[in-house]
């Protein structure tokens, strides 16, 4: 059965929806979004059709496409509206309602935020070539050909502190800079647990929201937060069962591994992602100056 994706002219432009059992959550979400653009939809509905939780689809979709789920929905709807306007659609309110906006004003604000111009201006120019349209995403083979099976561990509660930033799909490139800051400031973080080669570093993803944003802390384990300067992020990681994956390639290819975990391994595992921090763990084998040496990805799971 083909996976349907609808072009800006309304045509079905992509095919081959594999059987549901083999389609990963991001693919299912894309199919549902593209085939229901003109209908109201919620994150809960997209998660349900994808067969996973809200938390899971937010992470899986972002890992596979680089977009938050609902931002992609909004961008696709506004793109369809822009193309309709360029073709001379006379009723902007009808387009607003079709795009799931309750008023002309709300639609115009969103349209201007997306394209930097108004619906009326696009209708007057009858052209969209100067707009950054969001075309349908065609899933590609960004997953690994082979993912080594994880080991399972139950980690005790521990504390992590270090430089922190709010990360979205748009600013993920901030993370390497955060690690550069960590290397410069790690000696200033008080109450560190372990020294030198015995001191692991952690890249913790926490406090995620439905838009795909999360806090990323590049840090180390600490004994307590009592003397920690306010400029540093802090997180208490609770006792939790984890699936632990080894990433042996260069750190720059981490997205392919993460995408494979969320969109291939996890749906097939019979487990669910626990709503808890997930993290990378870097020990003495990792070389921060070259990005080589490998590290571990710890995914919290539950039955």
All structural domains of the chain with their residue ranges? 1-140, 151-302
User: Cα–Cα–Cα angle for 198, 203, 207, nearest 5°?
Assistant: 135
Report, as an integer, the average pLDDT of 183-211.
89
Per-residue pLDDT, 196: 67
Using an 8 Å Cβ cutoff, are 218 and 201 in contact? yes
Is residue 276 very low, low, confident or very high in pLDDT (cuts 50, 70, 90)? very high
Better-scored residue on pLDDT, 204 or 249: 204
Give the contacts of 70 (CB within 8 A, at least 6 positions apart): 43, 210, 211
C-alpha distances out from residue 284 to 152, 175, 209, 296, 299, Å: 21, 20, 32, 12, 21
The yes-or-no verdict on residue 14 having pLDDT over 70 is: no
| 80, two tokens | 């369809």
**Percentage with pLDDT > 90 across the chain:** 61
Fold: same for 1-140 and 151-302: no
Using an 8 Å Cβ cutoff, are 70 and 60 in contact? no
Per-residue pLDDT, 176: 84
Q: Which residue has the tokens 């003495």?
A: 284
Is residue 3 very low, low, confident or very high in pLDDT (cuts 50, 70, 90)? very low
What DSSP element (H or E) covers 183? helix 174-185
Span 1-140 CATH architecture: Orthogonal Bundle (1.10)
Q: Which residue has the tokens 């109450």?
A: 191
The yes-or-no verdict on residue 137 having pLDDT over 70 is: yes
Question: Which of 1-10, 29-38, 266-275 is predicted with the least confidence, judged by mean pLDDT?
Answer: 1-10
- DSSP β-bridge partners for residue 73: none
CATH number for the domain formed by residue range(s) 151-302 = 3.20.80.10
What dihedral do alpha carbons 29, 30, 31, 37 form, nearest 10°?
100
């Amino acid at each position: 059965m083909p996976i349907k994706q609808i072009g800006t002219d309304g045509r079905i432009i992509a095919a081959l929806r594999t059987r549901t059992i083999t389609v990963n959550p991001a693919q299912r979400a894309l199919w549902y979004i593209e085939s229901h653009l003109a209908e109201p939809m919620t994150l809960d509905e997209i998660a349900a059709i994808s067969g996973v939780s809200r938390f899971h689809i937010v992470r899986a979709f972002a890992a596979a496409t680089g977009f938050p789920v609902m931002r992609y929905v909004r961008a696709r709807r506004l793109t369809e509206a822009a193309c309709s306007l360029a073709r001379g659609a006379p009723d902007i309110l009808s387009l607003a309602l079709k795009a799931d906006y309750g008023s002309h004003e709300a639609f115009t604000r969103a349209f201007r935020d997306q394209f930097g111009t108004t619906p009326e201006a696009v209708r007057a120019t009858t052209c969209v070539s100067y707009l950054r349209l969001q075309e349908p995403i065609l899933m590609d083979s960004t997953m690994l050909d082979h993912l080594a099976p994880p080991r399972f561990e139950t980690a005790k509660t521990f504390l992590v502190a270090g430089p922190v930033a709010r990360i979205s799909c748009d600013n993920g490139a901030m993370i390497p800079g955060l690690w550069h800051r960590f290397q410069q400031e790690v000696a200033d973080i008080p109450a560190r647990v372990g020294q030198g080669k015995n001191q692991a570093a952690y890249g913790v993803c926490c406090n995620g929201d439905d838009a795909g944003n999360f806090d990323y802390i590049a840090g180390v384990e600490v004994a307590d937060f009592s003397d920690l300067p306010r400029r540093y992020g802090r997180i208490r990681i609770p006792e939790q069962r984890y699936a632990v994956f080894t990433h042996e390639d260069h750190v720059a290819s981490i997205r392919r591994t993460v995408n494979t975990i969320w969109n291939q391994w996890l749906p097939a595992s019979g487990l669910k992602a626990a709503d808890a921090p997930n993290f990378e763990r870097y020990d003495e084998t990792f070389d921060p100056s070259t990005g080589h040496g490998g590290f571990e990805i710890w995914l919290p799971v539950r039955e």
